[in-house]
Amino acid sequence: MTGATGFVGGRLLPALAAAGHDLTVLTRDADRYDGPPARVVEGDLLDAGSFEAAFEGCEAAYYLVHSMDATDFVARDRRAARNFARAASAADCSRVIYLGGLGRDSDALSPHLRSRHEVERLLAAGDYDLTVLRAAVIVGAGGASFEMVRRFVAHLPRVFVLPLPTAARTNCQPIAIDDVVGYLAAVLDAPDTRGRSFDIGGPSVLTYADLLRHMAQAYGHRLFVAAVPWLNERFVAHWLALFTGIPETVVAPLMAGLDNTVVVRNGGLDDLVSVAHTPLDAAIERAIAGE
């Protein structure tokens, strides 16, 4: 597994261990790994030749890395995906599972989402069966987009009028981190998912503005959103970075994605695996509690 110490990978590993799978973890710093028993390999996907040992005896691999906190994240994502695909193919790894992002290629995608889709295409060029799960906002403690919103909403007055770009009216379909982990674990043992792509999402489709209102409600606040046509995402990203303490290099790509509708269009995974759908408000409450 790549991304084993991250937001998704750190939760997926215990689920795979509980299912009886033997684990190999690729990490840039072995001292940071504190998950279930695993063979730990130190290496960097950006440095070809440093990580290939991780594929020894590997039957399946998870690709859960994304360089959104770097100013050159597009180039870094591209190089990491190419290096990974070459190494997995050379090692005769039979399948790869990738967590990507929702959004249609025909839309004017944000650089963040375009990069996620490019990584998907690069991984698809490898000599293995690729399974792709595409998600929008993942609701869970530690997730970049959720933490940005949580830190902001938590410090608002009890009643607040928030000016936002008109893009805040765009629809999204958030999903609980527990559901994402459930899907990622389930497809590994579902042969019919090999070589296929699926969109995954929670039970609620709503605007980003409505998502903010749900977050505020969880803190006991009343939030009113005012759409301001001249307010641009770059200005809001700078303001949110100052307010939340999250680096602007992380906030800006997330804000740029507000224009993109990210809802499930290519479903069907629920016909092949069984994963419970967590209601949005329950997912928010768990995330606020640190789960």
Cα–Cα distance for residue pair 67/78, rounded to 1 Å: 10
pLDDT for res 70: 59
> Measured between alpha carbons, how far is residue 201 from residues 30, 104, 257, 269 in Å?
33, 15, 17, 11
DSSP H or E stretch at residue 199: strand 197-199
pLDDT for res 151: 81
Domain ranges of the chain: 9-288
β-pairing, 171-172 with 206-207? antiparallel
Query: pLDDT digit string (tens) for 176-219?
Result: 999 999 999 999 999 999 999 999 999 999 999 899 899 999 99
Domain 9-288 belongs to what topology? Rossmann fold (3.40.50)
Q: Which residue has the higher pLDDT, 110 or 179?
A: 179
The helix/strand/coil state of 23 is coil
3-state helix, strand, coil in the chain (%, to 5): 45, 15, 40
Band of the pLDDT at 68, cuts 50, 70, 90?
Answer: low
Judged against a pLDDT cut of 90, whether residue 227 lies above it is answered with no
Nearest residue to 113 (alpha-carbon basis) of 259, 269, 280: 259
**Per-residue pLDDT averaged across 153-177, rounded?**
86
Per-position DSSP letters for 41-74, written without gaps between them: EE--TTSTTSSGGGGTT-SEEEE----TTSTTHH
φ, ψ at 237 (rounded to 5°): -60, -45
Tokens of 75: 């180039």
Judged against a pLDDT cut of 90, whether residue 100 lies above it is answered with yes
| Averaged pLDDT score across all residues of the chain | 91
Tokens of 116: 């996620």
Least confident of 31-40, 178-187, 226-235, 282-291: 226-235
Judged against a pLDDT cut of 80, whether residue 245 lies above it is answered with no
**Per-residue pLDDT averaged across 43-50, rounded?**
96
Band of the pLDDT at 105, cuts 50, 70, 90?
Answer: confident
Nearest residue to 64 (alpha-carbon basis) of 29, 101, 113: 101
Least confident of 49-63, 190-204, 228-242: 228-242
β-pairing, 129-135 with 206-207? unpaired
DSSP H or E stretch at residue 3: none
Judged against a pLDDT cut of 70, whether residue 66 lies above it is answered with yes
